[in-house]
A and B are shown apart, each in its own frame.
Chain A
Amino acid sequence: MRKEVLLLKSMLLAVLILFIPQIGLSADKIKVGVLHSLSGTMAISETTLKDTVLMMVEEQNKAGGLLGKELEAVVVDPASDWPLFAEKMRELIEVHKVDVVFGCWTSVSRKSVLPVVEELNGLLFYPVQYEGEESSKNVFYTGAAPNQQAIPAVDYLMNEVGAERWVLAGTDYVYPRTTNKILESYLKQKGVAEEDIMINYTPFGHSDWQTIVSDIKSFGSAGKKTAVVSTINGDANVPFYKELGNQGISAEDIPVVAFSVGEEELSGIDTGPLVGHLAAWNYFMSAESDANDEFIEAWHGFIGDEDRVTNDPMEATYIGFKMWAKAVEKVGTTDVDTVRPALYGIEVPNLTGGTAVMHSNHHLSKPVLIGEIQDDGQFDIVWSTDGEVEGDAWTDWLPESKVIVADWTDPINCGNYNTETKKCSGQNY
Chain B
Amino acid sequence: MMKLYFVMLFLFVFPAQNIFANESSESINSLDSSFELLTSKSFSDKTKAIEAISESGHPSALGILSSLLDGKLYYGKKDKKIVKIEKIDSKIFKTFDPLNNDSLGEKKKRELRKVGINNKLRGLLNEKIAKLTIFSEDKKTRLQATRNILKNLNPSSVEIIRNAVKQESDADVRELMQICIYAADAQSNDREIKLNAIRSLSGSLYPEIGILLDKLNTEQLAKSEKDTELLEALDESIESTKLKKGFYKQIENIFFGLSLGSVLLLAAVGLAITFGVMGVINMAHGEMLMLGAYTTFVIQQLMPNAIEYSLFIAIPAAFIFTGLVGIGIERGVIRYLYGRPLETLLATFGLSLILQQAVRSIFSPLNRSVITPDWMSGSYEFNPALSLTYNRMYIVLFALLVLFALLWLLKKTSFGLQMRAVTQNRNMAKAMGIRTNWVDSLTFGLGSGIAGVGGVALSQLTNVGPNLGQAYIVDSFMVVVFGGVGNLWGTFFGAMTLGIANKFMEPFTGAVFAKILVLIFIILFIQKYPRGMFALKGRAAES
The verdict on A252 contacting B503 (CB below 8 Å), with A207-B463, A221-B207, A268-B366 known, is no
Q: Which residue of A lies closest to B467 (CB)?
A: A41
A226 CB to nearest B CB, Å: 11
Query: Are B211 and A202 closer than 8 Å at their CB atoms?
Result: no
User: Is B525 located at the chain interface by the 8 A CB criterion?
Assistant: no
Query: Are B510 and A201 closer than 8 Å at their CB atoms?
Result: yes
Residues of the A chain whose Cβ atoms lie less than 8 Å from the Cβ of B118 = 276, 372, 380, 382
Q: Within A160-215, which residues are at the interface with B (CB < 8 Å)? A: 161, 172, 200-203, 205-208, 210-212, 214-215
Q: Which among B99-107, B176-184, B224-232, B370-378 touches the partner chain?
A: B370-378
Of A246, A268, A276, which contacts B379 at CB under 8 A?
A246
Query: Are A255 and B463 closer than 8 Å at their CB atoms?
Result: no
A386 CB to nearest B CB, Å: 16
Query: Are A210 and B256 closer than 8 Å at their CB atoms?
Result: yes
User: Is A47 located at the chain interface by the 8 A CB criterion?
Assistant: yes
A 295-314 binary contact with B (CB < 8 Å = 1; else 0): 00000000000000000000
Main DSSP-derived SS at the B contact region: helix
Give the docked Cα–Cα distance between A251 and B117 (Å).
Answer: 12
Query: Are A247 and B71 closer than 8 Å at their CB atoms?
Result: no
B 86-122 binary contact with A (CB < 8 Å = 1; else 0): 0000100000000000000000000000101011101
Query: Are A211 and B256 closer than 8 Å at their CB atoms?
Result: yes
User: Is B126 located at the chain interface by the 8 A CB criterion?
Assistant: yes
Q: Within A124-154, which residues are at the interface with B (CB < 8 Å)? A: none
Query: Are A221 and B211 closer than 8 Å at their CB atoms?
Result: yes
Q: Which among A4-12, A236-244, A389-397 touches the partner chain?
A: A236-244
Query: Are A202 and B511 closer than 8 Å at their CB atoms?
Result: yes
User: Is A235 located at the chain interface by the 8 A CB criterion?
Assistant: yes
User: Is A60 located at the chain interface by the 8 A CB criterion?
Assistant: no
User: Is A290 located at the chain interface by the 8 A CB criterion?
Assistant: no
Query: Are A269 and B512 closer than 8 Å at their CB atoms?
Result: no
Query: Are A201 and B511 closer than 8 Å at their CB atoms?
Result: yes
Q: Which residue of A lies closest to B458 (CB)?
A: A207
Query: Are B123 and A247 closer than 8 Å at their CB atoms?
Result: no
Q: Which residue of B lies closest to A275 (CB)?
A: B71
Query: Are B253 and A211 closer than 8 Å at their CB atoms?
Result: yes
Give the docked Cα–Cα distance between A272 and B70 (Å).
Answer: 10
Query: Are B377 and A245 closer than 8 Å at their CB atoms?
Result: yes
Q: Which residue of A lies closest to B504 (CB)?
A: A211
Residues of the A chain whose Cβ atoms lie less than 8 Å from the Cβ of B260 = 208, 210
Of B71, B256, B369, which contacts A270 at CB under 8 A?
B369
Residues of the B chain whose Cβ atoms lie less than 8 Å from the Cβ of A262 = none
User: Is B471 located at the chain interface by the 8 A CB criterion?
Assistant: yes
User: Is B360 located at the chain interface by the 8 A CB criterion?
Assistant: yes
A 74-117 binary contact with B (CB < 8 Å = 1; else 0): 00000000000000000000000000000000000000000000
User: Is B252 located at the chain interface by the 8 A CB criterion?
Assistant: yes
Query: Are B387 and A247 closer than 8 Å at their CB atoms?
Result: yes
Give the docked Cα–Cα distance between A212 and B253 (Å).
Answer: 11
Query: Are B511 and A268 closer than 8 Å at their CB atoms?
Result: no
- Which of A242, A246, A374, A376 has the most chain B CB within a 10 Å cutoff? A246
Q: Which residue of B lies closest to A380 (CB)?
A: B116
B260 CB to nearest A CB, Å: 5
Residues of the B chain whose Cβ atoms lie less than 8 Å from the Cβ of A273 = 377
- Which of B122, B365, B366, B503 has the most chain A CB within a 10 Å cutoff? B365
User: Is B465 located at the chain interface by the 8 A CB criterion?
Assistant: yes
Query: Are B365 and A211 closer than 8 Å at their CB atoms?
Result: no
Query: Are B119 and A372 closer than 8 Å at their CB atoms?
Result: yes
Residues of the A chain whose Cβ atoms lie less than 8 Å from the Cβ of B43 = 382
Q: Within A344-382, which residues are at the interface with B (CB < 8 Å)? A: 372, 374-376, 380, 382
User: Is B45 located at the chain interface by the 8 A CB criterion?
Assistant: no
Query: Are A376 and B90 closer than 8 Å at their CB atoms?
Result: yes
Query: Are A239 and B463 closer than 8 Å at their CB atoms?
Result: yes
Residues of the A chain whose Cβ atoms lie less than 8 Å from the Cβ of B524 = none
Query: Are B471 and A207 closer than 8 Å at their CB atoms?
Result: yes
User: Is A43 located at the chain interface by the 8 A CB criterion?
Assistant: yes
Of B377, B391, B511, which contacts A212 at CB under 8 A?
B511
B234 CB to nearest A CB, Å: 14
Q: Within A229-280, which residues are at the interface with B (CB < 8 Å)? A: 235, 238-239, 242-243, 245-248, 250-252, 255, 267-270, 272-273, 275-276
B145 CB to nearest A CB, Å: 15
Give the docked Cα–Cα distance between A245 and B462 (Å).
Answer: 14
Give the docked Cα–Cα distance between A203 and B518 (Å).
Answer: 15
Query: Are B369 and A210 closer than 8 Å at their CB atoms?
Result: no
User: Is B203 located at the chain interface by the 8 A CB criterion?
Assistant: no
Q: Which residue of B lies closest to A207 (CB)?
A: B462
Give the docked Cα–Cα distance between A211 and B71 (Å).
Answer: 31
Residues of the B chain whose Cβ atoms lie less than 8 Å from the Cβ of A250 = 122
B434 CB to nearest A CB, Å: 40
Apart from A202-B512, A221-B207: 11 A-B pairs, beta carbons within 8 A: A43-B360, A200-B510, A202-B511, A208-B260, A210-B256, A211-B256, A223-B210, A223-B214, A246-B390, A268-B369, A272-B1
Instruction: Enumerate chain B interface residues (CB-CB to A < 8 A).
Output: 1, 43, 71, 90, 114, 116, 118-120, 122-123, 126, 207, 210-211, 214-215, 249, 252-253, 256, 259-260, 263, 357, 360, 365-369, 371-372, 377-379, 387, 389-392, 461-463, 465, 467, 471, 503, 506-507, 510-512, 515
Instruction: Enumerate chain A interface residues (CB-CB to B < 8 A).
Output: 38-39, 41, 43-44, 47, 161, 172, 200-203, 205-208, 210-212, 214-215, 218, 221-223, 235, 238-239, 242-243, 245-248, 250-252, 255, 267-270, 272-273, 275-276, 372, 374-376, 380, 382
User: What are some 11 contacts across the A-B interface (CB < 8 A)?
Assistant: A41-B467, A201-B510, A201-B512, A206-B511, A208-B263, A208-B511, A210-B392, A221-B207, A222-B214, A239-B463, A247-B387
